[in-house]
């Protein structure tokens, strides 16, 4: 009877049985809403209805009683199981109702009546913190404190012309430095010429902004952000400008940089801003003689110049934090290296700060960066070192290390391999702990 083509073989949890017919209940889950004085109801669609399979089957064979005991145990096993049907394939299903006959009919069969429902995963709602957005929020909130700290320290009222000239020269040096860093990232002459013209215009406007330190701070912050915008506009343009508006990236190909061609703009933006953490300002052409006492005028001039320097360094730390959020870490070791570098540098800088609001704003930024790197880096693969006995193709090395060729490109990129067919042997190579 089992060989009759009208009967088909199936199985549940690996226990075989035969069946002739299956019926499937399916459709949509709906809730019908009825309303007073309205003839037609409103059926609310709640998604696809779970499919329910009703099967009339049987067990047969010389050991049919043993089969029944095994099948009953499978039906009573906790959780969903694999239901294999010839015309439906493998299904993850749970038994909701079953009847196993206690009688063996004249053909040696035990009848089964089975009802299965398809089973999904027990997925619970899960919430996670957007740590990258937290960095952006912390950086945005820190800028007003930075500008306020600058305005408090920058006082030029009463300074003679020679001292004002020195302060203007200090601010102009910031513009010149930012211009040079920006120009190094430009790809065409027109953008270069425009950058020069913009820098000259900004330098010419510095003198008129000396009595408006918040405006001067905004201008200097903008020129520093412009450096990062050449690498990764989406980093800098998410931050508000000093005047409370939000800058937006342009789609004009004539002015947009080729940042999109940068394979890793996040790390490049971070390292570029990190180079300004130790910014010391314009080199003094004639150092103040140590044998002479520092006059009140000279002290006021020095304080104003130092405020400009601190503004540059503070902006660099905030922009570096924003860049961290854009870094796609490729290993746990990389994330820890950046975290330690940033934490140590910003902590040292914070020791120099006298303004309480600016200090606590930086503390919030530091905490946001630490939380982000910890959250995104903790699950990444670690880096280890291997030495090949001899040169081999990258695909072969990847297969030997991970059992898959998928990591060949990473091995080449991580070790600056000249040709993928010649991964060098005899030297230590950097690879990930898993592929």
Q: What is the pLDDT of residues 51-90, one digit of tens each?
A: 999 999 999 988 999 999 999 999 999 989 989 888 877 7
pLDDT score, position 350: 94
CA distance 312 to 275: 11
In sequence order, what are the residues at sequence separation of 6 or more whose Cβ sits closer than 8 angstroms to the Cβ of residue 291?
none
- How far, in Å, CA of 46 to CA of 89, rounded? 27
Sign (positive or negative) of CA dihedral 179, 185, 191, 193 = positive
pLDDT on residue 78: 92
Q: Could you give the domains of the chain?
A: 8-118 (2.40.30.200), 131-377 (no CATH), 383-432 (3.10.350)
On the question of pLDDT at 247 being above 90, the answer is no
Best-predicted range by mean pLDDT among 222-231, 295-304, 375-384? 295-304
Q: Residue 320: is its pLDDT beyond 90?
A: yes
Q: Give one word for 282, left, alpha or beta, with left for phi > 0 and alpha for psi -120 to 50.
A: beta
Check whether 421 has a pLDDT greater than 60: yes
Please report the pLDDT score of residue 10 as a whole number: 92
Yes or no: say if 118 and 54 are a contact pair by the CB < 8 Å rule. Answer: no
The confidence score (pLDDT) of residue 77 equals 93
Mean pLDDT, rounded, of the chain: 83
Q: What is the mean pLDDT of residues 336-353?
A: 94
């Amino acid at each position: 009877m089992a060989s009759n083509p009208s009967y088909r073989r199936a199985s549940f949890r690996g226990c075989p049985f035969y069946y002739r017919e299956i019926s499937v209940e399916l459709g949509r889950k709906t809730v019908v809403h009825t309303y007073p004085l309205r003839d037609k109801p409103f059926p609310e669609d709640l998604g696809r209805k779970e499919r329910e399979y009703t099967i009339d089957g049987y067990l047969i064979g010389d050991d049919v009683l043993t089969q029944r005991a095994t099948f009953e145990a499978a039906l009573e096993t906790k959780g969903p199981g694999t239901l294999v049907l010839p015309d439906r394939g493998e299904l993850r299903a749970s038994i909701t109702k079953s009847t196993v006959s206690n009688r063996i009919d004249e053909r040696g069969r035990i009848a089964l009546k089975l009802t299965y429902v398809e089973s999904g995963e027990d997925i619970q709602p899960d919430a996670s913190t957007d740590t990258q957005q937290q960095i952006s929020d912390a950086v945005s909130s820190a800028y007003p404190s930075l500008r306020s700290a600058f305005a408090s320290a920058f006082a030029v009222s009463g300074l003679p012309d020679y001292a004002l000239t020195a302060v203007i020269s200090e601010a102009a040096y910031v513009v010149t430095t930012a211009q040079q860093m920006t120009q190094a990232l430009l790809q065409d002459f027109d953008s270069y010429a425009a950058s020069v013209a913009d820098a000259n215009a900004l330098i010419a406007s510095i003198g008129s902004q000396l009595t408006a330190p918040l405006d001067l701070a905004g201008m200097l912050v903008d020129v520093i952000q412009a450096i990062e915008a050449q690498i990764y506009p989406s980093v800098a343009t998410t931050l508000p400008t000093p005047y409370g508006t939000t800058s937006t990236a342009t789609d004009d190909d004539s002015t947009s940089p080729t940042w999109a061609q940068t394979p890793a703009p996040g790390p490049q933006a971070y390292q570029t801003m990190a180079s300004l953490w130790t910014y010391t300002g314009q080199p003094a052409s004639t150092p103040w003689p140590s044998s002479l006492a520092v006059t009140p005028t000279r002290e006021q001039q020095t304080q104003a110049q130092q405020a400009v320097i601190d503004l540059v360094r503070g902006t660099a730390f905030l922009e570096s934090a924003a860049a961290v959020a854009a870094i796609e870490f490729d290993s746990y070791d990389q994330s820890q290296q950046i975290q330690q570098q940033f934490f140590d540098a910003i902590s040292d800088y914070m020791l120099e700060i006298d303004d309480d609001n600016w200090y606590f704003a930086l503390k919030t930024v530091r905490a946001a960066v630490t939380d982000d790197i910890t959250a995104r880096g903790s699950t990444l693969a670690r880096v280890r070192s291997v030495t090949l006995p001899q040169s081999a193709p990258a695909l072969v090395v990847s297969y030997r290390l991970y059992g898959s060729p998928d990591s060949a490109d990473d091995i080449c990129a991580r070790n600056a391999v000249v040709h993928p067919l010649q991964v060098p042997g005899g030297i230590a190579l950097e690879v990930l702990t898993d592929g």
